[in-house]
Amino acid sequence: MRKTEAGVVGVNYGMLGDNLPPSNDVVSLLKSQNITKIRLFNPDIEALQALQNTGIEVILGTLNQDLQPLSANPSFALDWIQNNVIRFAKTIQFRSISAGNEVIPSDMQNYVLPAMKNIKMALDQATAAGLLASRIPVTTAVATSVLGNSFPPSQGEFSQEVGPVMGPITSFLAEKQSPLLVNVYPYFAYVNNQDAIPLSYALFNSEQVVVKDGENTYKYLFDAIVDAVYSALEKVGGGGQSVQIVVSESGWPSGGNVGDAAATVEYAKTYNNNLIKHVSGNSGTPKRPGKSIETYAFALFNENLKPPGTEQNFGLFYPNMTEVYPVYFT
């Protein structure tokens, strides 16, 4: 198997399990797999301490319930940054800070941009004190449920519900040259529309064009989803190269719901290994060709405190750190 471009593919380190290994052991596992980037959904201090001086880069998320105080109280944001970022800034390279995960659309969506602004202001204040924290991008992570239309990809646009929020967020990201984190799951698109979507299109196995969209052609559903979000960004002022997408989650379950013939070890193995090969190459997507796509596989472990079914079976590893199936990060 050909080598991936170094540093393109990371993994989500979720912690919704009561049987997960200690963070020091997890870091040893990451090193053994040549995984050099991870995403943390919240600032778990044990994990951050274990990651110090390892060279593993981190996307750090805020808890969704912290968005309201982060948005309303600059001093809360300053304390959050001081406690969770500044104290580790000399020993961990932070890829970005994510204000929440999949909050848009919801009744909390209006907290996201003010929280992002206060986090950015707190990072800038730290820089004034002599640290380089202002270089850390501030963003948020969205699911593709932000789209009101996604097909064909060129017609991708944000829904009316989220447009008033995503427009200003896109402007902020463009101004600060920060990426948008997007959770991309061909699995869910496939299982919800199996009559129209070939399995090979979802698994990166299609050898022929499945969707023709003007001059752009698509063999892989992943690319079509990413480009639909790029089209939506363009329609609210994030066109050109001004806002890049980082794929903050993508994966395939190895088991779960009764009757779900798509959730198998073999399909999960196929998807994740093909994902790594695809995003690590220089093909990009039809709308953004010629470069790799920073992507975070979902997820490191099967997590037994998530809802029963497929949600508990996205892990690359069991909690005892044996592999569910082989995944080749190098």
Separation of alpha carbons 170 and 201, rounded Å: 29
Active-site residue numbers? 102, 249
DSSP codes joined into one string, 240-306: TTTS-EEEEEE---SS-STT-TT--HHHHHHHHHHHHHHHHSS-B-SSSBSS---EEES-SB--TTS
Among candidate residues 36, 66, 227, 223, the one with its CA nearest the CA of residue 149: 227
**What does the DSSP 8-state code read for residue 220?**
-
Separation of alpha carbons 273 and 326, rounded Å: 9
Among candidate residues 254, 5, 266, 244, the one with its CA nearest the CA of residue 139: 244
Per-residue pLDDT of the chain (330 residues; tens, 9 = 90+): 334 455 589 999 999 999 999 999 999 999 999 999 999 999 999 999 999 999 999 999 999 999 999 999 999 999 999 999 999 999 999 999 999 999 999 999 999 999 999 999 999 998 766 667 778 999 999 999 999 999 999 999 999 999 999 999 999 999 999 999 999 999 999 999 999 999 999 999 999 999 999 999 999 999 999 999 999 999 998 766 789 999 999 999 999 877 789 999 999 999 999 999 999 999 999 999 999 999 999 999 999 999 999 999 999 999 999 999 999 997
Separation of alpha carbons 8 and 148, rounded Å: 29
Q: What is the total residue count of the chain?
A: 330
Separation of alpha carbons 84 and 104, rounded Å: 24
Q: Provide the pLDDT for residue 260.
A: 86
The region that residue 293 occupies, defined by phi over 0 for left and psi between -120 and 50 for alpha, beta otherwise, is beta
pTM of the model: 0.96
Separation of alpha carbons 166 and 309, rounded Å: 32
DSSP codes joined into one string, 123-134: HHHHHHTT--GG
Domains along the sequence of the chain with CATH: 12-317 (3.20.20.80)
The alpha helices in 38-139, defined as continuous H runs, are 45-51, 67-72, 74-84, 112-128
Strands (E), 120-197: 138-143, 147-149, 157-158, 180-183
Separation of alpha carbons 282 and 87, rounded Å: 36
Q: Provide the pLDDT for residue 1.
A: 31
Q: Which amino acid is at 181?
A: L
